[in-house]
Amino acid sequence: MKIIVVSDTHGSYHSFKRIMELNKNADIVVHCGDSRDELENIKLEYPDKTYYCVKGNCDFGMLPLTETFTVEGVKFFVTHGHIYNVKYSLYELDLAAREAGAQVALFGHTHIAHDELNDGVRLFNPGSAGYSKSFGVIEVKNGQVLSNIAYLK
Nearest to 54 by CA among 104, 128, 93, 108: 108
Residue 139: helix, strand or coil by DSSP?
strand
How many domains does the chain divide into? 1
Residue 19: helix, strand or coil by DSSP?
helix
Strands (DSSP E) found in the chain: 2-6, 28-31, 50-53, 66-71, 74-79, 104-106, 114-118, 121-125, 134-141, 144-151
Q: What is the pLDDT of residue 55?
A: 96
pLDDT in tens, the chain (153 residues): 999 999 999 999 999 999 999 999 999 999 999 997 899 999 999 999 999 999 999 998 889 999 999 999 999 999 999 999 999 999 999 999 999 999 999 999 999 999 999 999 999 999 999 999 999 999 999 999 999 999 998
**With a threshold of 0.85, does the pTM exceed it?**
yes
Q: Alpha carbon 88 to chain centroid distance? A: 19
What CATH number does residue 87 fall under? 3.60.21.10
DSSP 84: G
Residue 80: helix, strand or coil by DSSP?
coil
Q: Give the domain extent around 61.
A: 2-151
Nearest to 147 by CA among 120, 119, 114: 114
Please state, in angstroms and as integers, the Cα–Cα distance from residue 135 to each residue in 10, 46, 107, following that order: 14, 17, 11
Q: Are 147 and 124 in contact (CB under 8 A)?
A: yes
Helix (H) or strand (E) holding 44: helix 37-45
